[in-house]
Structure 1
Amino acid sequence: MSEESREFHKPVRRPAELFDRRYSAEDPAEVSRVAHSTAHALLARVRTDPDSGVVDRLVAFTDEHGIDDIAELWSRSPAKTLPGALWRLYLLQLMIHDDPRTAALLYERGRAELASADEVVAGAPSPAGPDELVALVDTIMRGLFEGDFAVALERAAAFCRIQASGATHVADDYEATEPERASSFTTRALRLSDYAADLAASAGLWRRDALT
């Protein structure tokens, strides 16, 4: 698994060694080709015929099965590509489903501290508890397959910015008494800020028909 994905990781069904045998590390061009082709094929298939049952299964994919081989494949893609964007969105969903209470804490703290329109763009209710945050991230995921893909990316980016703000301020709270915990929240804030920038850039590329 790539270094950037470790914080939001949960156990996968198949070990990474299986992936490496199927998509040889000696041929990064082939890995990239398959990553891009599977991402485009999945999105095109579902958006062409958006059967609600299929969409439901895709939205629940990480919650039920963890990150499977196909998402592991996407993890090796650059951030500002379709597979790279999908990988970040799946990791974001995992983070919320794995620990919705912390996600809600960070979201509410970030919303209180961040003076921007991100709260409106993300679309969470006020206040947003654990259940509301799980519902929000699943709604954003549905938007990938049923709505405006760029809007879904922008909502996810706004969500990440709010979470990053919350994590930064919570880290400050713990700095004097629990430095290790503060460091963990600082790391999360940095990762979420990176994701926000990547997803916002991907939304712009999608609108220009340039997200490959």
Structure 2
Amino acid sequence: MPEQFRRPVRRPTAAFDNLVGAADPAERSRVAHATASALLERARRDESGGVTERLVAFTAEHGIDEIAELWSQAPAHSLPGALWRLYLLQISLRSDSAMTALLYDRGRVELQSADAVIAGAPTPATPEELSALVDTILRGVFHGDFSIALDRAAAYCRVQASGATHVADDYEPTEPDRAGELTRRALRLDGYADDLSASAASWRRGTLN
């Protein structure tokens, strides 16, 4: 899996480090939760959807590396932790859209569940259509039912994980290193799916923060 899928390119600045108190984990956690809450609240308060559209477009083109780097340290089942995983899905797709589409289509065929329907991609899905799907899920996060958006993202991850597992099996006899890489990718995606599903359940209970 591309390194970008695990962590965005870091572009730290001195001012940013001073702001978040890089040496103080408690302060980093506080700021991570505060920025995630503020971002979500700002977008959801805007009934026109304009803020959401700008957020989706901006993160697709420029990323939000420094804020997302804060979120990467947050607990998996938290608001910043959930946003971090959604951000990873977006940058993963942008970094290798052709492979992402291949894995998604293979997973859709192999996975015996409703996940492909829940995720909502066309059948089969082109890289451009998957990109539109991820953007639609992000719009749902910022301007829709947050828990449904997380459930859709979790389903998307499970389809991708299934595809990565089966393609890894194909590579195993001839390219074991490639097979290992895809297997690790599948395990990460399965983990993200579990984390996003748990965060969706917490949101519905009113305990996600």
Q: Give TM class, smaller chain.
A: over 0.9
Moved more, 58-67 or 123-132: 58-67
Matched, 1:163 2:155: no
Q: Residues of 2 paired with 1:60 and 1:117: CA distance?
A: 29
Q: Residues of 2 paired with 1:17 and 1:115: CA distance?
A: 50
Shift of 1:134: 0.5
- What is the aligned partner in structure 2 of residue 107 from structure 1? 104
Question: How has the CA–CA distance of structure 1 residues 122 and 30 changed in structure 2, closer, same or farther, with 3 Å as cutoff?
Answer: same
Matched residue type, 1:160: C
1:54-105 CA deviation, whole Å, 9 max, x = no partner? 2112112332112321111111101000000000000001111221111110
Matched, 1:27 2:20: no
Matched residue type, 1:171: A
Check conservation: 1:11, 1:67, Cα contact below 8 A: no
Shift of 1:19: 4.4
1:125 counterpart SS class: coil
Identity score, percent = 64
1:60 counterpart SS class: helix
Check conservation: 2:4, 2:95, Cα contact below 8 A: no
Question: How has the CA–CA distance of structure 1 residues 10 and 38 changed in structure 2, closer, same or farther, with 3 Å as cutoff?
Answer: closer
Shift of 1:50: 3.6
Check conservation: 2:103, 2:167, Cα contact below 8 A: yes
Check conservation: 1:9, 1:94, Cα contact below 8 A: no
Q: Residues of 2 paired with 1:141 and 1:37: CA distance?
A: 19
1:11 counterpart SS class: coil
Check conservation: 1:63, 1:94, Cα contact below 8 A: yes
- What is the aligned partner in structure 2 of residue 11 from structure 1? 9
Check conservation: 1:36, 1:82, Cα contact below 8 A: yes
1:98-144 CA deviation, whole Å, 9 max, x = no partner? 21111110011001110001011101111111111111000000000
Structure 2 stretches lacking a partner, 5+ long: none
Q: Residues of 2 paired with 1:185 and 1:27: CA distance?
A: 36
Shift of 1:16: 7.0
**Would you identify which runs of 4 or more consecutive aligned residues in structure 1 move more than 6 Å?**
none
Moved more, 170-179 or 47-56: 47-56
Shift of 1:6: 5.3
- What is the aligned partner in structure 2 of residue 133 from structure 1? 130
Partner of residue 36 from structure 2, selected from 16, 39, 54: 39
Check conservation: 1:160, 1:192, Cα contact below 8 A: yes
Q: TM-score normalized by structure 1?
A: 0.91
1:15-60 CA deviation, whole Å, 9 max, x = no partner? 3776444323431111111111111111111111144332112112
Aligned residue pairs, count: 207
- What is the aligned partner in structure 2 of residue 86 from structure 1? 83
- What is the aligned partner in structure 1 of residue 144 from structure 2? 147
Question: How has the CA–CA distance of structure 1 residues 16 and 197 changed in structure 2, closer, same or farther, with 3 Å as cutoff?
Answer: farther
Moved more, 63-72 or 31-40: 63-72
- What is the aligned partner in structure 1 of residue 113 from structure 2? 116
Matched residue type, 2:23: E
Shift of 1:10: 4.3
- What is the aligned partner in structure 2 of residue 178 from structure 1? 175
Q: RMSD of aligned C-alpha atoms? A: 1.7
